[in-house]
Structure 1
Amino acid sequence: MATTVRVDLRREFADAGSRADPGPVYARLRDLGPVLRSKDILGGGFLLPRYEEVSRVIKDPRFASDRRNVGLRSLDQWWTPGLLRLLISSMVLKDPPEHRRLRNLVQKAFTPARVEKLAGRVEEITDELLDAAAANPVIDLMGDLALPLPLTVIAEMLGVPPADRVRFRTLFAAIQDNSEMTPASIVRNYPRMRRLTGFLQELVRLRREQPGDDLVSALVHAEEAGDRLDEDELISMVFLLLFAGHETTVNLIGNGVLELVRRPDQLQMLRDDPDLIGTAIEEMLRFTNPVGFVAPRFATEDVEIAGVPIPRGSMVTLLIASANLDEAAFPDADTLDITRSPNRHVSFGLGTHFCLGAPLARLEARIAIPALLRRFGHLELAVPADQLPWRRHIALRGVEHLPLVVTPAGASAGRSTT
């Protein structure tokens, strides 16, 4: 019988160096074995750090997303605050047939065609943001582009009235400091989350009465065989789209540009051949890993993974960021190669729970990064790479600020010191 090593994931990523360069940590975890024991804030259970096991379990129907389906107590108790009850009811934490029901309803409103129609508007917003940023010799890529672009896009997609968008952005920005996911930070952030929830409830009521060509209106009126989303499901779905779609895009753009700037050969290759942006985005998703792990799975029966017994009811955490850096699945896995193809990364998950917001994240990055390179003929870090501030969130990887010295296209650039 295979043995398992216990690891504390939070401790592994406690220092800024491991968040800036998680590759060595994940390599060590993979070397420890295909199945590890977790003893940290994730609540115990098992960790899967290798690609083979992650890609298999993420599609295996014997592993549930809803803890109630394995006999565990629901997180939704009589004393659970209403806001947390909304988050717990997220589609991400559901299994078929309930998950299929919710996803079918949402897909009618969040189709690839609807996303692709946004391309022109994404280009306009990107140009407006870059116009404002170009007035300065040093820009903060996060504050000037990576953060406001997806937030503006999602506000318009949701149908937030123009007069309320400043309030919406303020409410959403106010909860962004909850990056540590500690009990103290959750308690501190709760009043802000309640205010955002109230805003979204107002928005749902508005779109019931005054429907428009927007996502909330489409969700309100989405119907499948006479079935519709109730109000709690609507708010939960909007939260899911808001947080998952926004966070992934922010970190994809920020992390991706950072790695290009640090690898001038890859940056120049993309400048010389902009058609590489498609494979470049997929490689950024694999290599920079905006998301570290997906929602846990629970074994619905006694199973065995790589010779390790997994008892029924056990929680299994899939380290998709580690899987994406697995040398057994990706040749030269620790090298950024924007021409890599095929690229079977698991950054958006696989199977039933494949990320609904993936097309939007890809679209925004596909437009924003080439626009940045066209606007500025030269980019370099304004501070040493080891001084960049990284978020403390163990599930979401990204820099808080990314200061870049920029030279407009066509102007002469000084010699890079990075």
Structure 2
Amino acid sequence: MTFVNLPAFVSRAGRGDPDPYPNFDWMRSTMPVGPVIGPEGHGRAWFVSSYEHGRACLTDPRLSHDRRHAATATPDEAVDEGDLLGKDPPHHTRLRRLVNPVLSRGAVERLRPRIVEVCSSLVDAFAGRGNADLVAEYAWPIPWAVVHDFLGIPDAVRMDASHCIDRFLVAGYQEQQRRGGPTPATDELMDYVRHLIAYKRGNPGDDLITSLTAGLQRGLLRSEAELEGMLYVLLGAGQVSTGPMIAAALLRLLENPDQLARARAGQVNWRLVVEEALRYDSPVQTSVTRYALTDLEIAGVRVAKGDMVIVSLAAANRDPSTFTDAARFDVRRRRRTHLAFGHGIHLCVGAPLARLEGEVCLRLLFDRLPTLRLATSPTDTAWVLGPKLRSPRQVPVVFDPPGPHHDPRTSPVAGTPPATHHDGTVDSVGGCPVDHAERPAP
């Protein structure tokens, strides 16, 4: 059985993180662009909490992703050659071009049957027990398994799920304290990445690592360090952002059984459920830090060259000027372009895969276990991983175990014909909606 224990240090002695949304509301209404302490504890940073200004910042070419443009940068500032998150065009464009085709919506759709298998096997492990912690036993193991499948790594070669996720979370926290410098957790993960690359060179296949190593041979990647850096980012981001997304979506549906009932009855498409979960509980709370390339103004606030700019994706996604009744979780909400995956050229490259994982895992779980319900009060839920990430620490549930003749292969997640929903949306095979009304507003 795959089981993920989140690191002990994220629990804040069991209390969890404070609810950030009242503070976001206050900042948005009083200073939508306000000064805060920089993520590294020094330097001047500006926190953008409105949707309008946040979305504009995410596409502003005067704001760089490269930390060498920070006012606090040192002459010998370390640069991760393959870090997609820390690059500007044209380097970012070149690296992204290598992975965009294999992470497009059409390309990742081929993984649907495998995602169904992953989710089914996880449910099988606890279905007969009548209780589970959906965070440890479902939400986090899913992206660990899927991203390793996507990279072409068999079970026997993989780092243990709990340890792998622990190392990425610890590395993220430690790197903030060391201004992105190497840490023991980072070093361990880079050794793991090198091990995976060596394995795939000896066992090539139809997978991302094989594709990227071929790109290195053709000169599309410039160095082994670029290859290692790209795989580090893809392996980590594919787990530490999708796990919280699934965990929060599960919790919100169980907190709102009327909305869950609408989804299960086909009145709302599961893909819309995923979008509302992403908006309401942004798993990645803030954007990657940006650095002003010149003196500029944001919402009338002067930002000096070298200042840091941080967009609160979470605050923007609950901006009442953009989303009606923004503080309410509502799966019937007509879709607007939320910022959970960012915006512009740095839009999360793995968004199609994360959306597919969310759609499949929610639909399958509630089909397999229709009596699923929370074992504790929602008010007892501790939220952790802040301030950059946000996830329920546990989602304990109880349910009536399925009967002995239940066949999970009859799940409508895969192998069913297209279905028309009460809201007019139409599923393609496997439940992926094609109704143009669901597309984001321009």
TM range (shorter): 0.7 to 0.9
From the superposition, tell whether residues 320 and 375 of structure 1 become closer, same or farther in structure 2 (CA, over 3 Å): same
Deviation (angstroms), 1:155: 1.3
Tell whether the 8 Å contact from 1:109 to 1:222 is kept in structure 2 after alignment.
Answer: no
> Aligned AA for 2:173?
M
Shift of 1:383: 2.1
Q: TM-score, normalised by structure 1?
A: 0.85
CA distance in structure 2 between the aligned counterparts of 1:170 and 1:18, rounded to whole angstroms: 20
Which residue in 2 is equivalent to 1:73? 73
Letter in 1 for 2:64: A
Q: CA deviation at 1:402?
A: 1.3
User: Among 239, 253, 261, which residue is 1:268 paired with?
Assistant: 261
Q: 1:27 aligns with which of 2, 25, 28?
A: 25
Would you say the 8 A contact 1:102–1:229 is kept in 2? no
Once the two structures are superposed, the pairs formed by residues 399-418 of structure 1 within 5 Å of their partners are 399-408=392-401
- The equivalent residue for 1:415 is none
Matched pairs, number: 390
* C-alpha distance in 2 between matches for 1:340 and 1:120: 29
1:382 equivalent in alignment to 2:375: yes
Give the 3 Å change call, closer, same or farther, for CA 34–17 of structure 1 in structure 2: farther
Alignment of 1:259-338 (within 5 A): 259-273=252-266, 276-338=269-331
Deviations, residues 93-141 of structure 1 (Å, cap 9, x unaligned)? 1101111111112224434333111000000111111111112121110
Residue 168 of structure 1: CA displacement? 4.7
**Paired residue secondary structure (1:333):** coil
Deviations 1:24-68 (A, max 9, x none): 221112122121001254443111011110011111111111133
C-alpha displacement at 1:242, in angstroms?
Answer: 1.5
Q: Aligned in 2, Cα 1:89/1:200: closer, same or farther, shift over 3 Å?
A: closer
Which SS does the other structure have where 1:37 is aligned? strand
Give 1:378 deviation, angstroms.
1.9
> 2:60 is matched with which residue?
60
Paired residues for 1:135-154 under 5 Å:
135-154=128-147
Indicate if the aligned counterparts of 1:299 and 1:313 stay in contact, CA closer than 8 A: yes
In structure 2, relative to structure 1, the CA distance for the partners of 1:225 and 1:215 (3 Å cut) is closer
What residue number does 2:8 align with?
Answer: none
CA gap of 1:32–1:339, structure 2 versus 1, over 3 A, is same
Alignment of 1:17-416 (within 5 A): 19=17, 21-39=19-37, 41-42=39-40, 43=42, 44-69=44-69, 73=73, 77=77, 86=80, 89-165=82-158, 167-169=159-161, 171-175=163-167, 178=170, 181=173, 190-222=183-215, 226-273=219-266, 276-408=269-401
**1: CA distance between counterparts of 2:34 and 2:248?**
28
**2:245–2:278 Cα contact (<8 Å) kept:** yes
Deviations 1:337-361 (A, max 9, x none): 1121232100000111000110110
- Distance 1:260-1:170 versus aligned 2 partners, 3 A rule: closer
Secondary structure, counterpart of 1:222 in structure 2: helix
Superposition deviation, residue 251 in structure 1: 0.9
Contact preservation (8 Å) 2:383, 2:392: yes
68-77 vs 53-62, greater mean Cα deviation: 68-77
Greater shift in the superposed pair: 365-374 or 21-30: 21-30
Deviation at 1:20, TM superposition (A): 6.2
Question: Runs of 5+ in structure 2 lacking a partner?
Answer: 1-10, 405-442
- Structure 1 gaps, min length 5: 1-12, 412-418
Kindly state the Cα deviation for residue 177 of structure 1 after the two structures are TM-superposed: 5.8
Shift, 1:16, TM fit: 8.0
How far, CA to CA, are the matches of 1:388 and 1:365 in structure 2? 21
The residue type equivalent to 2:283 in the other structure is P
SS at 2:226 equivalent: helix
Q: Residues 381 and 76 (structure 1 numbering): CA distance in 2 closer, same or farther, change over 3 Å?
A: farther
CA distance in 1, matches of 2:274, 2:184: 36
RMSD: 2.9
Q: CA deviation at 1:320?
A: 0.8
Task: Please give the alpha-carbon distance, in whole angstroms, between the structure 2 residues aligned to 1:278 and 1:343.
Answer: 13
Please state whether the residue corresponding to 1:356 is helix, strand or coil. coil
2-structure distance, mates of 1:174, 1:273: 37
Mapped to 1, the partners of 2:175 and 2:215 lie a distance apart of 36
Evaluate the alpha carbon distance shift between residue 231 and residue 75 of structure 1 in structure 2; reply closer, same or farther with a 3 A threshold: farther
The TM-score normalised by the length of structure 2 is: 0.81
Letter in 1 for 2:24: Y
Q: Is the alpha carbon distance of 1:406 and 1:395 closer, same or farther for their aligned partners in structure 2, counting shifts above 3 Å?
A: same
